[in-house]
Structure 1
Amino acid sequence: MKSLILFLQQVNIEQKLKNAPDSQYQVGILIGSFVPFIVLVGLAYALYYRAKKKEQNLK
């Protein structure tokens, strides 16, 4: 299952940038490639904060 997810997530950004019609499209590609990473970091931080808060309430 993990290998299937990794296969589906592989995107050739260099090729997309090379074939981009203009600079605005290139910026969109770069932003779009970072959005999943930013969402995962935000989710990890939220889970960490929630767990830390729960731990403090138990003391």
Structure 2
Amino acid sequence: MRSLILFLQQVNVEQKLKEAPDGQYQIGVLIGSFIPFIVLAAIAYALYYSAKKRD
């Protein structure tokens, strides 16, 4: 089950950029590929800050 989910989540950004109809689409693809990392970093920072504040 886990491997199926990972397989479905794989996105080939390079191919999407090659097939992009215009520059606006390319920017959207790049921003969309970075959003999960930004969200995870924000969650990690919030958890770190709350743990540090607790001490």
TM-score higher than 0.5 here? yes
Q: Which residue number in structure 2 is paired with residue 13 of structure 1?
A: 13
How many pairs does the alignment contain?
55
Question: Unmatched 5+ residue regions in structure 2?
Answer: none
Question: Could you tell me the TM-score, scaled by structure 1's length?
Answer: 0.81
Q: What percent of counterpart residues are identical?
A: 76
* Greater Rg over alpha carbons, structure: 1
Q: Which residue number in structure 2 is paired with residue 38 of structure 1?
A: 38
Q: Which residue number in structure 2 is paired with residue 53 of structure 1?
A: 53
- Runs of 4+ with >2 A deviation: 1-9
Instruction: Give the Cα–Cα distance (whole angstroms) in 2 for the partners of residues 42 and 2 of structure 1.
Output: 25
One-letter amino acid of the structure 2 residue matched with residue 21 of structure 1? P
Question: Could you tell me the TM-score, scaled by structure 2's length?
Answer: 0.87
Distance 1:2 1:53, change over 3 A: farther
Question: Unmatched 5+ residue regions in structure 1?
Answer: none
Q: Which residue number in structure 2 is paired with residue 23 of structure 1?
A: 23
Instruction: Give the Cα–Cα distance (whole angstroms) in 2 for the partners of residues 7 and 39 of structure 1.
Output: 21
- Aligned partner of residue 20 in structure 1, secondary structure: coil
Let me know the Cα RMSD of the aligned residues. Answer: 1.4
